[in-house]
Copies of this chain bind each other. A is one copy, B any other.
Amino acid sequence: MESTKAGGVIAYISSSTSSPESCHSDSSNGSFPSSSSPSSSSPTPKILPVTQKTGRSSSSTSTAKCGITKINGLVLLCKVCGDVASGFHYGGFFRRSIQQNIQYKKCLKNESCPIMRINRNRCQQCRFKKCLMVGMSRDSVRFGRIPKREKQRMLLEMQSAMNNMMNNQNQNQNQLLVGQNQLLVGQIHQNQLLGCPMLPCPLPANDATSENAGPAPCPRSSQSDVGVAMDTSSSSPCASDSLSEEAIGSVTRAHQETFMYNQEAPPTSAEDPQEATPPPTHCPFRGSRGSAPYAHAAFVAPPPEGPVNTAYSAPPWRGGNRMHLSGHEVWEDFSHSFTPAVREVVEFAKKIPGFRDLCQHDQVSLLKAGTFEVLVVRFASLFDVKDHSVTFLGGKRYGVETLRAMGAGDLLNSMFDFSEKLVNLGLSEEEMSLFTAVVLVSADRSGIENVNSVEALQETLIRTLRSLITKNHPNESAIFTKLLLKLPDLRSLNNMHSEELLAFKVHS
């Protein structure tokens, strides 16, 4: 029996898209891991991997073994609660809810309780809501198994979608993607177990030409003498200051040149979510293709039903009836909406003085590990602290509470919290750009070859950032420290994101 289990990768859940594919779980039962069967996803009706234990065939065969549901060796997790899924579809809780048309008591909190394996029984309203949010539908009853053919097809679609994405954004193929059966697994590095799927960026070759060389921060390889003046604030204006001046300018310029979100706004179609194919934007949140595709596809669980929500919640990927989109198309579309933003980060990196002096492998590693974090920082500016809203396409704003009520996931919530805190620091664009550079070179170093070089570059950037901040905010010396404390927060967001993506992929 265990043999059977082996092999699986792990999926999580997230969600993205809605439906078609797969899995979610419901809530039903399941608390324990085990149980039943493997199944797969399916395109049409909405089916999801569910926690609930499904029945058990008395018969001998395989199924019986463990209750874990897998697809091609990938272990599926419940889309609702994250528990190991035992099968698709209905389960105890969801089933009862539907069959008896139960009206649950109103949530005691803000109707946005996180639903996890351990606490899923705490709030029924939120649990049921999440079931629906994740794509479970009363109409999706599905008998019998999922045809093997169908499974296969979806898998292939996923893969080619990934491939496309990769190709598009890396002109250079440094890397990536492997293509194996594990969808994206492996695709992007293994920042972690499976790797973070969302960061394909390859990264441009390190051609020596270094166009905007600027005053390279001459990364030292030692590690001891760094940042002598780091915390002394205004005191000693050591020699490095002049260097800093230039560095600041370079980084700020790099930032401005590579961050277009606020420079373009999809004029047309912004109002009409049904509009099919507007030009892509650089900021996914404003992407014209659908409102907030990112929030939709990755952060928020996609609404199973149709156009219930407004622009925000009924992203017309490809403008049409989403029922007609294959999982492949949805994914592809979603992925594409991010390509430009990712590319911009790569461009930004290349312009950070000293970055291209790192070995190519490390440049790639930093980008793989840090692009998401950089994007989070960049997009934080879309968050309006005053009225706690986020601006999506066409200038439309959505209050955080509204989004939460709509089922924004933990990741999105955490991003809002992060954005709010960051914006509250009131940094200038100059400061933000330097901070962004710091974030990038501070990325996870587990795969770095020349750690000392990266560290040296990081120190230089940090020193520069520090002097800039102490200069601009002489009376708020805590700002620098607060900024550094944002780094672990970003790391956590990055991890949450990786997990959701992973789940998404696995499930689809």
Chain A residues in contact with chain B, CB under 8 A? 2, 5-8, 10, 12, 29, 31-35, 40, 42-45, 53, 68, 75, 77, 82-84, 114, 117-122, 139-144, 147, 149-150, 189-190, 192-195, 223, 226-233, 327, 410, 413-414, 417, 424, 442, 444-447, 451, 458-459, 462, 466, 470, 476-482, 484-485, 487-492, 495-496, 499-500, 502-503, 506-508
Contacts and interface: CB of A to CB of B under 8 A. Distances in A.
A502 B193 contact: yes
Contacts of A114: 447
A29 B414 CA distance: 38
Given A141-B119, A141-B121, A491-B491, A481 B43 contact: no
A508 B508 CA distance: 24
A227 B482 contact: yes
A71 to B, nearest CB: 14
Contacts of A144: 29, 31
Identical subunits present = 2
A447 B33 CA distance: 23
A210 B446 CA distance: 40
A424 B228 CA distance: 14
B488 A231 contact: no
Contacts of A10: 502-503, 506
A453 to B, nearest CB: 14
A43 B84 contact: yes
A446 B496 contact: yes
Contacts of A492: 444-446, 491
A231 B233 contact: yes
A63 to B, nearest CB: 13
A335 to B, nearest CB: 16
B84 A507 contact: no
B226 A478 contact: yes
Given A75-B506, A232-B477, A491-B491, 4 more contacts: A31-B142, A118-B140, A193-B503, A484-B487
Contacts of A68: 506
A417 B451 contact: yes
A193 B12 contact: yes
**Which of A149, A413, A506 has the most chain B CB within a 10 Å cutoff?**
A506
A489 B444 CA distance: 7
B231 A508 contact: no
Contact of A45 (B2, B44, B117, B470): B117
B5 A32 contact: no
Contact of A32 (B7, B43, B122): B43
B193 A499 contact: yes
A147 B43 CA distance: 29
Contacts of A43: 31-33, 83-84, 117
Contacts of A462: 481, 485
A445 to B, nearest CB: 7
A481 to B, nearest CB: 5
Contacts of A410: 446
A119 B414 CA distance: 33
